């Protein structure tokens, strides 16, 4: 428990020391945050109220939006609050919570994308077995396994990170508590711990990525054998949003892990963190709403119904 007595708080890196730029950072992050919250909230609501979307693909998509909703809420609000109040501190317990929940939401996100790839594989490559394999019970069990296993994974990494002793500098070279930056504050040599953490994460990530790659390889082989152009287009249209989201997640995550943390500048660290922690949760609802015909129709009905009810109430009051 010595680390808790020597380190009671951390200092997060700000985007600027200039007050006007701090306010600008607050406004920009607020806009990005509201866009992400609104987009994911609309996805969740549309799937919940539209019975046409009560199938496995949209059940997993709703779970993905819930995870995106939580993921972006872990890092941005604290950074906005620090900029608004011209401070940089975060409590020890607050830092532990950030690390745990960010790891949980990120890992569960990737696990769910892997399950969604399996769902598309069964739907396209084995359509006659789809209803038998992807039952409601099976979908709930797969989602529950993803959530529970990622809770354990996050607890393991968080415990491993905060088991070390912190001393000396309290400055985390990032706008939220990021594990590689925290390990640089350790009193003893944390190189081995960092290697173990990154190696385990990369190993699990590669397993998920290999599963997604094999699934889509089989999907593309099956789609290309479909005789009608309309059938091929329909099959591709159900996979394209998911494939785009996977590509965005993998690209930003890979870029973050391949970047050498020890030799990077603070500006580059922040830019990469913004790229992998904010862009996917914000872009996922946009990708699914623009590239998915059923989702686009459900959102149009939802927004149109809301506007109709609002106009009807306005007429009634007048």
Q: What is the pLDDT of residues 11-26, one digit of tens each?
A: 888 777 788 888 998 9
Residue 274: pLDDT above 70? Answer: yes
CA dihedral 89, 279, 141, 96 (to 10 degrees): -10
Question: Within a domain: residue 318?
Answer: no
Alpha carbons within 13 A on the beta-carbon side of 87: 9
pLDDT (mean) for 99-105: 94
In a domain, 220, yes or no: yes
Per-residue pLDDT reduced to its tens digit, 25-43: 899 999 999 999 998 998 8
Residue 317 lies in a domain: no
In the chain, how many domains are there? 1
C-alpha distances out from residue 90 to 21, 33, 297, Å: 21, 20, 43
- CA-based nearest residue to 76, from 16, 15, 18, 152: 15
* Distance from C-alpha of 159 to C-alpha of 249, rounded to nearest angstrom: 25
- Domain range spanning residue 170? 2-312
In 3D, which of 298, 3, 293, 286 has the Cα closest to residue 160?
Answer: 3
For 18-138, where are the E strands, in sequence order? 89-91
Three-class secondary structure of residue 192 per DSSP: helix
Residue 62 lies in a domain: yes
| Average model confidence (pLDDT) across the chain | 82
Give the Å distances, CA to CA, from 108 to 104, 142, 160, 165, 170: 6, 11, 19, 28, 30
The rounded percent of the chain whose pLDDT value lies above 70 is 85
Q: Is 172 helix (H, G, I), strand (E, B) or coil?
A: strand
The CB density around residue 300, as the number of other CB atoms within 10 Å, is 12
**17 within domain boundaries:** yes
Here the CATH number for the domain that contains residue 23 is 1.20.1070.10
How does pLDDT run across 187-196, given as a tens digit for each residue? 766 556 667 7
Residue 260: inside a domain: yes
Query: Which residues neighbour 70 within 8 Å (Cβ) at sequence distance 6 or greater?
Result: 101, 105
pLDDT at position 61 over 50: yes
> What pTM was computed for the model?
0.84
Mean pLDDT over 208-234 rounds to: 86
Q: What pLDDT digit, counting tens, does each position of 140-199 carry? A: 999 999 999 999 999 988 888 888 777 767 888 888 888 878 877 877 665 566 677 677
Q: Which residues make Cβ contacts (< 8 Å) with residue 140, sequence separation at least 6? A: none
């Amino acid at each position: 428990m010595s680390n808790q007595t020597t380190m009671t708080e951390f200092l997060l890196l700000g985007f600027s020391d200039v007050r006007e730029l701090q306010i600008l950072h607050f406004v920009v992050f607020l806009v990005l945050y509201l866009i992400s919250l609104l987009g994911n909230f609309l996805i969740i609501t549309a799937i919940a109220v539209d019975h046409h979307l009560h199938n496995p693909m949209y059940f997993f998509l709703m779970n993905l939006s819930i995870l995106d909703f939580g993921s972006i809420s872990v890092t941005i609000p604290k950074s906005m609050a620090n900029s608004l109040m011209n401070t940089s501190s975060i409590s020890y317990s607050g830092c532990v919570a950030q690390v745990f929940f960010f790891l949980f939401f990120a890992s569960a996100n990737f696990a769910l994308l892997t399950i969604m790839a399996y769902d598309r594989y069964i739907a396209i490559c084995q359509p006659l077995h789809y209803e038998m394999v992807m039952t409601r019970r099976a979908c709930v069990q797969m989602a529950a396994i993803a959530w529970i296993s990622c809770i354990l994974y996050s607890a393991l990494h968080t415990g491993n990170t905060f088991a070390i002793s912190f001393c000396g500098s309290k400055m985390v070279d990032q706008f939220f508590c990021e594990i590689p930056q925290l390990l640089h504050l350790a009193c003893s040599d944390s190189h081995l711990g960092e290697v173990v953490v990154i190696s385990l994460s990369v190993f699990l990530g590669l397993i998920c990525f290999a599963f997604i790659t094999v699934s889509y390889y089989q999907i593309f082989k099956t789609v290309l054998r479909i005789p009608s152009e309309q059938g091929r287009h329909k099959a591709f249209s159900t996979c394209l949003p998911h494939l785009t989201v996977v590509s965005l997640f993998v690209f930003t995550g890979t870029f973050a892990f391949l970047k050498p943390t020890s030799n990077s500048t603070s500006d580059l660290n922040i830019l990469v963190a913004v790229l992998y922690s904010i862009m996917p949760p914000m872009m996922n609802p946009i990708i699914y709403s623009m590239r998915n015909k059923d989702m686009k129709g459900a959102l149009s009905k939802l927004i149109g119904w809301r506007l109709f009810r609002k106009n009807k109430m306005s007429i009634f009051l007048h």
